[in-house]
């Protein structure tokens, strides 16, 4: 199992490639990973079909704690421990149906698709952005109820690292806000049309009292200039704000102008938070909004593009096998991201993920002690 996780981290998602990877490992790495003999691709497949998910969550969490204790994971992106929670599909197919997965039918084509989704928690206040936990969302289940299963585990396992939770509008509701505040933590929840009363209230309050500009940022991104502006309103005394613990509404206006263009596009987003107005500076407030997307740009993108979670599934024998692979990929992602964060930068930018995977593989062949520290599974 450890070999599979490390192979995924090195960009080997197919079992035949995992077999080759295991053959190339140095003697020290083979001992540390518990590989005593030759392992074929069919052996790895058989392991995945027989392995249960029990214990894998604990292994992933032990890995993150090890990285925290080694000060590889620290609050280097934000002064508060911030965790982003977001949904992510980790398997889908219109050709294979696996019992226990979600099914949907396209009304136009009649094609049935099976899929499995998870609600993932990523520590976005660290540049490593490790995945701390995830909850599988099964058939006839939703993200908001899954939050109420996932969040207590986060507090129990990483309460000392967790001070504020960020989430998209799909998780914004009374029950989730109450759960966060009852645990002594804070939330930053997005507001959209799926909460019509809260969203309308935010629009009305900012239209009536927009207040002064609190913070502004500008960046050059993909051939465009992106300007963001933050306005905030205190709402702790507004009776119609039906969200437990809410203290402020934030509005972020984003204007994107392509280089050489005469027109710009505008997007306005609203957020509700339980953070006191004095807890963060305006610049930190705007940074927290942007930091939330670290789960999408850091974890989710990397899982799909670098670790091929969206395209390649080495074992689709059962739902349990799919979940086992998902956990092994999370462990592999945490290892790869920790390795990349500690590698030398080029032009002040982190290594490309593909290059980081190459270096990680090379280090494993040489049995680097640093890699073995990160790769050890409980």
Question: Which pLDDT band holds residue 365 (cuts at 50, 70, 90)?
Answer: confident
What is the structure's pLDDT at 273? 96
Other CB atoms within 10 A of residue 371 CB: 24
- How would DSSP label each residue in 175-218? HHHHHHHHTT-EEEEEE-TTSHHHHHHHHHHHHH------EEEE
The most distant pair of C-alpha atoms in the chain lies apart, rounded to whole Å, by 71
User: Mean pLDDT for the chain?
Assistant: 91
Write the pLDDT tens digit of every residue in 327-340: 999 999 999 999 99
Write the pLDDT tens digit of every residue in 135-185: 999 777 789 999 999 999 999 999 999 999 999 999 999 999 999 999 999
Distance between CA atoms of 146 and 152, rounded to whole angstroms? 11
What is the structure's pLDDT at 371? 56
Distance between CA atoms of 314 and 64, rounded to whole angstroms? 25
358 vs 142, more confident: 358
Write the pLDDT tens digit of every residue in 28-51: 788 888 888 888 999 999 999 999
What is the structure's pLDDT at 367? 64
Write the pLDDT tens digit of every residue in 259-276: 888 889 999 999 999 999
Mean pLDDT of 119-132: 96
Q: Which uninterrupted H or E stretch holds 59?
A: helix 56-69
Distance between CA atoms of 49 and 56, rounded to whole angstroms? 15
Residues near 355 by Cβ (< 8 Å), separated by ≥ 6?
none
Percent of the residues in the chain that have a pLDDT greater than 90, as a whole number = 71
Distance between CA atoms of 261 and 227, rounded to whole angstroms? 15
- How would DSSP label each residue in 114-159? EEEEEEEEEETTSTT--EEEEEEE-TT--HHHHHHHHHHHHHHHHT
Query: Model's pTM, two decimal places?
Result: 0.92
Q: Is residue 236 predicted with pLDDT exceeding 80?
A: no
Q: Is residue 373 predicted with pLDDT exceeding 70?
A: no
Mean pLDDT of 232-247: 85
What is the structure's pLDDT at 378? 36
Find the radius of gyration of the CA atoms of the chain.
22
Question: Which pLDDT band holds residue 242 (cuts at 50, 70, 90)?
Answer: confident
229: closest CA among 213, 248, 210, 212? 213
366 vs 143, more confident: 143
Which of the residue ranges 22-31, 60-69, 312-321 would you say has the lowest mean pLDDT? 22-31
Give buried/exposed letters for 320-342 (b at 16+ CB in 10 A, else e).
bbbbbbbbbbbbbbbbbbbbbbe
190: closest CA among 92, 84, 262, 331? 84
Q: Is residue 54 predicted with pLDDT exceeding 80?
A: yes
Residues near 179 by Cβ (< 8 Å), separated by ≥ 6?
147, 148, 151, 152
Q: How many residues does the chain have?
A: 378
What is the structure's pLDDT at 195? 86
Question: Which pLDDT band holds residue 131 (cuts at 50, 70, 90)?
Answer: very high
């Amino acid at each position: 199992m450890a070999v599979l996780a490390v192979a995924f981290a090195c960009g080997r998602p197919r079992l035949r490639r995992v077999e080759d990877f295991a053959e190339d490992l140095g003697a020290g790495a083979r001992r540390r990973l518990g590989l005593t003999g030759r392992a074929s691709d069919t052996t790895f497949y058989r392991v995945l079909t027989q392995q249960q998910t029990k214990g894998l969550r604990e292994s992933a969490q032990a890995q993150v704690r090890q990285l925290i204790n080694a000060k590889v994971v620290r609050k280097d992106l934000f002064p508060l421990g911030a965790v982003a929670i977001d949904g992510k599909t980790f398997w889908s197919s219109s050709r294979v149906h696996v019992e226990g997965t979600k099914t949907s039918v396209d009304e136009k084509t009649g094609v049935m698709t099976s899929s499995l989704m998870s609600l993932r928690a990523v520590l976005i206040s660290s540049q490593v952005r490790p995945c701390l936990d995830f909850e599988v969302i099964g058939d006839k289940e939703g993200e908001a109820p899954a939050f109420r299963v996932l969040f207590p585990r986060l507090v129990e396992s990483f309460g000392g690292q967790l001070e504020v939770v960020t989430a998209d509008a799909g998780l914004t509701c009374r029950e989730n806000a109450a759960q966060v505040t009852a645990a002594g933590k804070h939330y930053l929840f997005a507001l959209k049309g799926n909460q019509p009363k809260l969203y309308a209230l935010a629009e009305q309050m900012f239209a009536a009292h927009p207040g002064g500009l609190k913070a502004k940022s500008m960046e050059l991104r993909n051939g465009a200039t992106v300007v963001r502006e933050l306005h905030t309103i205190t709402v702790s005394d507004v009776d119609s704000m039906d969200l437990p613990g809410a203290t402020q509404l934030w509005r972020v206006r984003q204007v994107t102008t392509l280089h050489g263009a005469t027109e710009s596009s505008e997007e306005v987003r609203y957020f509700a938070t339980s953070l006191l107005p004095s807890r963060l500076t305006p610049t930190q407030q705007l940074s927290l909004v942007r930091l939330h997307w670290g789960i999408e740009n850091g974890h989710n993108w990397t899982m799909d593009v670098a670790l091929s979670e969206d395209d390649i599934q080495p074992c689709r024998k059962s739902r349990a096998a799919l979940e086992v692979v998902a956990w092994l990929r999370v462990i592999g992602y945490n290892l790869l991201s920790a390795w990349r964060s500690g590698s030398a930068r080029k032009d002040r930018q982190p290594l490309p993920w593909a290059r980081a995977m190459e270096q990680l593989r090379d280090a494993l062949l040489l049995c680097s002690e640093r890699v073995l520290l990160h790769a050890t599974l409980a």
